[in-house]
């Protein structure tokens, strides 16, 4: 099935509404999932839909939750996602945080009682489009052990970064602290395909190419001990400092069993002119042009941006299984 972006968003939203999700939340989730799909991130895209719907129907995620925001300090925005989907809370942060950052030079959004944050590059890019530099941190259910350990304590704990460029699309960096995002292993599991043997360890702590065994075991950290240390940093920023569940306390994002995961996200937004002066934009442009003077260099984020731009005309390709799910 080939659908326009608008049609795909409409069908996904309708499917979520049939599974106890409010129209407003369904629209927010649908926009995020379709954007992830068009960006080439299927592990965070429409393949999440079945789990999302099952969780909403079971009450593991509150499909009718309305995120609430308040300022706990002049440059701090706290957001309670209400055990609902993360996307409405992220939309609220995008709506309210830029004004705080413009006023104070830097501002922080601390989101708690949240859910799967999806493709975080898409969120920080929205701040960069408003002229801000943005950093985002999120914890996820435990999937990775501290270096030298065998028991999962951290999640894959992704980070994302975006910086605006004058007269060009932003630089966007988005990566998990594991060698790959866990969603890629879930996608391989759903497709019945093998994974490389350096992505994950099985329950016995041995490398595996079987995605099912990988999901039972632990993820390999990016950069070995360095990646594990960065995962700890993200855990502190996204969970400790937002007042929400640690990764090892959170339930799975892939099934409808147990309590809400109550994950956390932290977003830091910086006004570059406040920190670097009026010439900061041209300095950013100089850095980007110096990098791309080498014809083999592509700025981070360009592949995703190009795919999303192409999808505006080519549409979204939906496989038969997903087509049956969203268009029964």
In this prediction, residues 5-17 reach a mean pLDDT of: 96
Q: Provide the percentage of residues in the chain whose pLDDT is more than 70.
A: 100
Of 281 and 325, more confident:
281
Residues 6+ apart with CB under 8 A from 46: 8, 12, 33, 34, 36, 37, 318, 322, 326
In a domain, 90, yes or no: yes
Taking the mean position of all CA atoms in its chain, how far away is CA 323? Answer: 24
H or E stretch covering 200: strand 200-201
The pLDDT assigned to 171 comes to: 98
In a domain, 6, yes or no: yes
In this prediction, residues 43-48 reach a mean pLDDT of: 91
Q: Confidence band (pLDDT; 50, 70, 90) for 43?
A: confident
- pLDDT single digits (tens) 264-281: 999 999 999 999 999 999
Residue 183 pLDDT exceeds 80: no
Backbone angles phi, psi at 2, to 5 degrees: -115, 120
Q: Confidence band (pLDDT; 50, 70, 90) for 9?
A: very high
The pLDDT assigned to 327 comes to: 79
In a domain, 11, yes or no: yes
Contact (CB, 8 A) for 118 and 86 = yes
In this prediction, residues 54-77 reach a mean pLDDT of: 97
The pLDDT assigned to 172 comes to: 98
CA distance 327 to 95: 32
In a domain, 288, yes or no: no
The pLDDT assigned to 180 comes to: 85
What's the whole-number average pLDDT of the chain?
A: 95
Q: Confidence band (pLDDT; 50, 70, 90) for 204?
A: confident
Residues 6+ apart with CB under 8 A from 247: 139, 140, 141, 142, 143, 152, 153, 154, 155, 157, 235, 239
Of 147 and 104, more confident:
104
Alpha carbon separation from 229 to 121, 181, 188, 233 (Å, rounded):
22, 17, 27, 6
Residue 322 pLDDT exceeds 90: no
The pLDDT assigned to 159 comes to: 97
Residue 302 pLDDT exceeds 90: yes
- pLDDT single digits (tens) 232-266: 999 999 999 999 999 999 999 999 999 999 999 99
In a domain, 116, yes or no: yes
- pLDDT single digits (tens) 74-118: 999 999 999 999 999 999 999 999 999 999 999 999 999 999 999
DSSP class of residue 142?
Answer: S
Neighbours of 296 (CB within 10 A): 5
Question: What is the residue whose two structure tokens read 């409010």?
Answer: 22
Residue 182 pLDDT exceeds 80: no
Q: How many residues does the chain have?
A: 328
Residues 6+ apart with CB under 8 A from 238: 137, 138, 139, 157, 244, 263, 264, 265, 266
Residue 21 pLDDT exceeds 80: yes
CA distance 76 to 50: 35
In this prediction, residues 8-19 reach a mean pLDDT of: 96
Residue 192 pLDDT exceeds 80: yes
Contact (CB, 8 A) for 128 and 170 = yes
Q: Confidence band (pLDDT; 50, 70, 90) for 208?
A: very high
In this prediction, residues 281-305 reach a mean pLDDT of: 96
* Calculated CA dihedral for residues 199, 323, 306, 168, nearest 10 degrees: -110
CA distance 158 to 178: 8
Of the listed ranges 148-152, 193-197, 310-314, the least confidently predicted one is 148-152
Of 246 and 207, more confident:
246
Residue 262 belongs to a domain with what CATH number? 3.30.1370.60
Q: Please, is 300 exposed, middle or buried when counting C-beta atoms within 10 Å of its C-beta (0-12, 13-18, 19+)?
A: middle
Domain count, the chain: 1
Domain containing 50 equals 2-178+221-275+313-326
The pLDDT assigned to 103 comes to: 96
* Phi-psi region at 301: left, alpha or beta (left = phi > 0; alpha = psi -120 to 50): left
In a domain, 258, yes or no: yes
The pLDDT assigned to 206 comes to: 86
């Amino acid at each position: 099935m080939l659908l326009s972006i608008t049609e795909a968003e409409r069908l996904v939203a309708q499917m979520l509404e049939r599974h106890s999700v409010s129209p407003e939340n369904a629209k927010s989730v649908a926009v995020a999932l379709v954007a992830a799909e068009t960006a080439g991130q299927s592990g965070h895209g429409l393949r999440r839909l079945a789990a999302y719907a099952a969780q909403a129907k079971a009450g593991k995620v509150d499909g009718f939750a309305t995120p609430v925001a308040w300022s706990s300090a002049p440059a701090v925005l706290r957001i309670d996602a209400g055990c609902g989907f993360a996307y409405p809370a992220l939309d609220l942060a995008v709506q309210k945080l830029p004004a705080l950052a413009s006023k104070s030079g830097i501002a922080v959004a601390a989101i708690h009682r949240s859910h799967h944050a999806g493709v975080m590059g898409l969120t920080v890019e929205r701040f960069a489009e408003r002229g801000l530099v943005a950093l985002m941190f999120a914890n996820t259910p435990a999937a990775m052990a501290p270096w030298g350990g065998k028991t999962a304590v951290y999640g894959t704990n992704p980070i994302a970064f975006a910086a605006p460029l004058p007269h060009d699309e932003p630089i966007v960096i988005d990566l998990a602290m594991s060698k790959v995002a866990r969603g890629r292993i879930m996608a391989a599991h759903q497709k019945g395909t093998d994974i490389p043997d350096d992505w994950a360890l099985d329950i016995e702590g041995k490398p595996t190419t079987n995605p099912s065994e990988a999901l039972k075991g632990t993820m390999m950290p990016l950069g070995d001990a360095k990646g594990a240390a960065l995962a700890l940093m993200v855990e502190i920023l996204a969970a400790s400092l937002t007042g929400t569940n640690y990764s090892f306390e959170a339930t799975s994002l892939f099934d409808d069993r147990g309590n809400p995961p109550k994950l956390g996200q932290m977003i830091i937004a910086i006004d570059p002119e406040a920190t670097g002066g009026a010439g900061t934009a041209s300095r950013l442009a100089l850095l980007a042009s110096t990098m791309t003077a080498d014809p083999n260099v592509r700025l981070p984020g360009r592949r995703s941006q190009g795919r999303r731009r192409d999808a505006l005309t080519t549409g979204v390709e939906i496989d038969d299984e997903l087509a049956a799910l969203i268009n029964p």
